[in-house]
Amino acid sequence: MKTIKQLITTLALISLITSCTNTTNNDKRIYTLQDVQSGSIIAVKKVVLKAEPIKPHGNIGVSLGSGGHAGFYGAVDILTLGSLFGIKRKDKIMQEIIIRRPNGTLVAVTQPYSTSLKRGDKVKIIKRGNEARVIH
């Protein structure tokens, strides 16, 4: 009987404590504002964004100690190692989409290449901050 009372008391205490906790979701991504505009595609152009060349960084040196010891020291970053082994960044295939909005203004969006977007399509432009994308 005593253990049942302890169990009930413990459950009641847990229920009381959890009901007092803050259950507000602090995830800011849920509360973002996006501007949605409509329009018609008047042009789609394939563009290639050239990859920037890998610039090696790092240093290598020699150390001579007063105790008669010598050694090499240095640091080389991953980009340097990549350039030494012939690893290169790849160009990105993108598309520039020109859209005429109902009020006559033109909007240009560059985004990853998609074969589904064609001239004459009715689309939506979703804009958030400095980023935009075009969808059907």
Q: pLDDT of 8-24, one tens digit each?
A: 676 665 665 655 555 55
Q: Kindly list the domain boundaries of the chain, sorted by start residue.
A: 2-51+90-135, 53-89
Res 21: pLDDT: 53
Surface-to-core class of residue 133, CB atoms within 10 Å of its CB (0-12 exposed, 13-18 middle, 19+ buried)? middle
Q: What does the block give as tokens for 71?
A: 């050694």
Global pTM reads 0.55
Is the pLDDT confidence value at 34 over 80?
Answer: yes
Give the span between the Cα atoms of 80 and 74, in whole angstroms.
13
65-122 pLDDT per residue, tens: 555 565 555 555 666 666 666 667 788 999 999 999 999 999 999 999 988 999 999 9
Fold of the domain built from segment(s) 2-51+90-135: OB fold (Dihydrolipoamide Acetyltransferase, E2P) (2.40.50)
- Position with higher pLDDT, 76 vs 41: 41
Closest CA to 89 of 48, 53, 40: 53
Report residue 51's pLDDT band, with 50, 70 and 90 as the boundaries.
Answer: confident
> What pLDDT does residue 89 have?
73
Distance from C-alpha of 122 to C-alpha of 133, rounded to nearest angstrom? 14
Which DSSP string do the residues of 37-89 spell out, in sequence order?
EEEEEEEEEEEEEPPPPPPP-EEEEEEE-TTS-EEEEEEE-HHHHHHHTT--P
Tell me which of 52 and 81 has the higher pLDDT: 52
Question: CA 97 to CA 122: how far, in whole Å?
Answer: 12
d(C-alpha 86, C-alpha 129), whole Å: 37
If you average pLDDT over residues 30-43, what whole number do you get? Answer: 87
